[in-house]
Structure 1
Amino acid sequence: MGRTLEILERLVGFATVSHDSNLDLIDWTQDLLENAGFEVTRIGSPEGTKAGLFARIGPRADGGICLSAHTDVVPVDGQVWTRAPFRLSDEGARVFGRGTTDMKGFLASALAMAERAGSANLSAPLSLCISYDEEIGCVGIRQMMPEVARHIGKPRLVIVGEPTSMQVATGHKGKTALRVTCHGQAGHSALAPQFVNAIHVAAEMVEGLRRLQAVLADGPRDDAYAVAYSTVHIGKIAGGQALNIVPSDTHLDVEFRHLAETPAEDIVGRITDLAHRVSRSFPDAPAITVEKVNAYPGLETDVRQDAVAWAAQLAGATNTVKVPFGTEAGYFAQLGLCSVVVGPGDMAADGHKPDEGLSKTELAACDAMMDNILGALTSRR
């Protein structure tokens, strides 16, 4: 574990919060991979302030394994930390620092194995896909995917290293974020009944979204999830300028997370129909607008695939699970690749929290998986 911890210390030291650049970390990682003998493709963000990497080593052939990790972390602002968040604290059984669980621990283990792969006689290809801006809705991998698709080939298995306590996750819900804008008529509050109050319009939208949630709860279910049905969530509401002005606009930030059995387009259609019905209740106001802000696909990998059993063997996993949070795995699945999520750590216990930490037992289990991967890729059976 020594080399993994050395790399993890460097990775945590790069404060790659999503709203900041990750280029220093990418420069360091690219040097490590190129020195190990990897062919590295750098994929810049549209703004040029961030970048991802696709690195490949081994024979030019189908098969092998692709390991996927993101470099960005969530902010620490407003959290009370008892340790420096961007300096690795090694306290015996656990290490602490922002990103140790989500998901620089996995990346450190993968990079340590990549160094060893450089001197191995690989019989199948090994690739690493390292992204940016995952924490703001898998934005980076979506921007990277056209270039990734040109280079990735057809690996037998893609492992996305989000924290699953080293169990093999074969599914998660897809997510869509919407901006719903409810319009009214500005006017003096002394004459409020003469105008359409945009907050009143929004209140009817909120009530309609609550009814939609009840409908979804009675719809398709997958009991492998902690919440077994598709969900609708209103995360933010903003409207009005001053108490004495009838508000002309109110914005609702809405997300839904959907099962594979409930396509995103169906829920968007229901929300759009709801907006039309509410708008008809306020004929003097402009129509409600529904704008898609972001979306990423869910994951629904068939557990009967041989590659899933292989992933469990490599990870030493005892069963397959589904996770409540989103990952980049759905994008690889859209390329027709068998994709699973396996990584060290517990998202519920440590993810996005102050004093984020990672058990060394989990990190050792991840290192063991990397050893198994390297062994599998050098086997000539």
Structure 2
Amino acid sequence: MANTETLFQDAVELLKQLITTQSFSREEVQTADIIDAFLKARGIPTNRKMNNIWAYNQHFDAAKPTILLNSHHDTVKPNTGYTRNPFEPTVEDGKLYGLGSNDAGGSLISLISTFLYFYNKPNLKYNLCLATTAEEEISGINGLESIIPELGKLDFGIVGEPTLMQLAIAEKGLMVLDCTTYGKSGHAAREEGDNAIYKAMSDIEWFRTYKFPKESEIFGPIKMSVTIINAGSQHNVVPATCTFTVDVRVTDAYRNEEVLELIKQHVSCEVKARSIRLKPSSIDKNHPIVQSGLKLGRTTYGSPTTSDQSLLDIPSLKIGPGDSARSHSSDEFIYVDEIREGIELYIKLLEEIV
């Protein structure tokens, strides 16, 4: 559709427009409008559900496998450390400043540019489905998850997040557990009651020390951390209940459901998972898209941060321009050259296989 230099120039202008437009999670109507208009101006039919926009390559063939190209256009709120206007895109010393420039604006516009590059090419081995989605920063239900049933059969995905264009071939899942231990209240001065705090202590110690039988080749063991505890109402009453919260970072060695079941078998407290939808994800090192990246001199690693990968039930690779360390930071920025490199590498990554 266009040469890479034109794609790059248009991408930077699009990112500046997105930075100018507030798009906190659940408030992405205007950035969805901008992306929709950007694609339609280039003759691309789009689909929309709430603040999610998606499109397919011109020569889509249902008989062929489909690659998902996904990134998000929502942002967190700027923190109090900003010294610049977070909604004013400025370029200084090769850096494009602005909220969402790094997470995940650079990846988003680079994937859009890559989609444009392949859009009208005939005889591709794969279809391409571009999905620009909302609510990633809050793992919301009205983002990618809400449109997956409508995207059709997907064979694997590229999820755009800042990884310095290295290959994140696995990502930890997340479960937050609310645990309750039940005892019996009584007067603290007498031998009355059954102290729920004491009962909770053995379970908390189990969470601190337990090692799951299987370990991830990439991440090692699952990590469980007790992060909140509440019990008691006054000094002279033995507490009847003790509640505590456990943060569980699940690796690709297990499914969330398996980990939850194992935990319930080992502890005496009541365990309720707030959600099991943020799944660990991985893609085989021998997968063609990973092999393509390795040929380009990229390296593989496991990502400790969660993204929309956690909502996908297909193999997926997380890769994008920018640096995860800059995400959610004050005076967020991305190097303009990182965007250029991102577009070029995404294209080369796919050219090897499509």
Same fold? TM cut 0.5 = yes
RMSD of aligned alpha carbons = 3.1
- Rounded Cα–Cα distance in structure 2 between residues aligned with 1:265 and 1:294: 10
Which residue matches 1:76? 78
1:333-352 paired onto structure 2 within 5 Å: 334-335=313-314, 338-347=315-324, 349-352=325-328
Letter in 1 for 2:45: E
Distance 1:329 1:273 in 2: 29
Instruction: Output the CA distance in 1 between the equivalents of 2:162 and 2:270.
Output: 37
The CA distance in 2 between the partners of 1:369 and 1:63, in whole Å, is: 22
Note closer, same or farther for the CA distance 1:205–1:111 as it changes in structure 2 (3 Å cut). same
AA matched with 1:211 = T
**Matching residue within 127, 131, 138 for 2:133:** 131
- Equivalent pairs counted in the alignment come to 341
Alpha-carbon deviation of 1:343? Answer: 0.4
Matched, 1:262 2:238: no
Preserved contact between residue 96 and residue 358 of structure 1 (Cα < 8 Å): yes
The match for 1:110 is: 111
- Match for 1:318 among 295, 298, 318? 298
SS at match of 1:256: strand
CA distance in structure 2 between the aligned counterparts of 1:352 and 1:162, rounded to whole angstroms: 13
Map of 1:362 onto structure 2: 338
Q: Against the structure 1 CA distance between its residues 197 and 135, is the aligned structure 2 distance closer, same or farther, given a 3 Å change threshold?
A: farther
Q: After alignment, is 168-177 or 231-240 more displaced?
A: 231-240
Q: Is 2:12 the counterpart of 1:5?
A: yes
**1:303 and 2:303 correspond:** no
C-alpha distance in 1, partners of 2:172/2:190? 43
Deviation (angstroms), 1:96: 2.5
Structure 1 gaps of 5+ residues are 45-50, 277-287
Q: How far off is 1:26 after superposition? A: 1.3
Q: Is the 8 A contact 1:163 1:342 kept in 2?
A: yes
- Structure with the largest fraction of helix: 1
Cα distance in 1 between the residues matched to 2:122 and 2:350: 8
Could you tell me how far 1:373 is from its partner in structure 2? 6.6
Q: TM-score, normalised on structure 1?
A: 0.77
Any residues of structure 2 matched to 1:177-256 within 5 Å, and which? 177-184=176-183, 194-212=192-210, 215-216=211-212, 219-222=213-216, 224-225=218-219, 228-241=220-233, 247=239, 249-256=241-248
CA distance in 2, matches of 1:144, 1:96: 31
Show the counterpart of 2:31. 25
TM-score between both structures, scaled by the size of structure 2: 0.82
CA–CA distance in 1 between the matches of 2:55 and 2:82? 35
The amino acid that maps onto 2:180 is T
- Is the CA contact (8 Å cut-off) linking 2:293 and 2:349 kept in structure 1? no
Distance 1:355 1:203 in 2: 43
How far is the alpha carbon of 1:230 from its aligned partner? 1.1
Shift of 1:246: 5.5
Among 283, 293, 309, the residue aligned to 1:329 = 309
CA–CA separation in structure 2 for the residues paired with 1:251 and 1:85 = 39
Letter in 2 for 1:210: R
Distance 1:251 1:37 in 2: 56
Amino acid at match of 2:33: D
Q: How many angstroms does 1:259 deviate by?
A: 2.4
> 2:191 & 2:100 partners in 1: Cα distance?
52
2:71 match: secondary structure: strand
Tell me if structure 2 keeps the 8 A contact 1:81–1:355: yes
State the shift of 1:331 in Å.
4.1
Return 5+ residue gaps in structure 2 as ranges: 1-7
Letter in structure 2 aligned against 1:163: P
Instruction: State the SS of the aligned residue for 2:274.
Output: strand
- CA displacement 1:225-253 (0-9 Å, x = unmatched): 3xx22111233334455667665544323
Deviations for 1:41-94, whole angstroms, at most 9, x for unmatched residues?
2223xxxxxx322211221212464311122223334x4122222332322222
* Contact preservation (8 Å) 2:169, 2:285: yes
The answer to whether the Cα contact below 8 Å between 1:167 and 1:312 also exists between their aligned partners in 2 is no
8 Å contact from structure 1 (residues 105, 363) kept in 2: yes
Given that 1:36 and 1:117 are in contact with CA atoms closer than 8 Å, whether structure 2 keeps it comes out as no
Deviation at 1:363, TM superposition (A): 1.8
* Corresponding residue number in structure 2 for 1:284: none
| Alpha-carbon separation, structure 2, partners of 1:8 and 1:14 | 10
Conservation of the 8 A alpha-carbon contact between 1:58 and 1:123: no
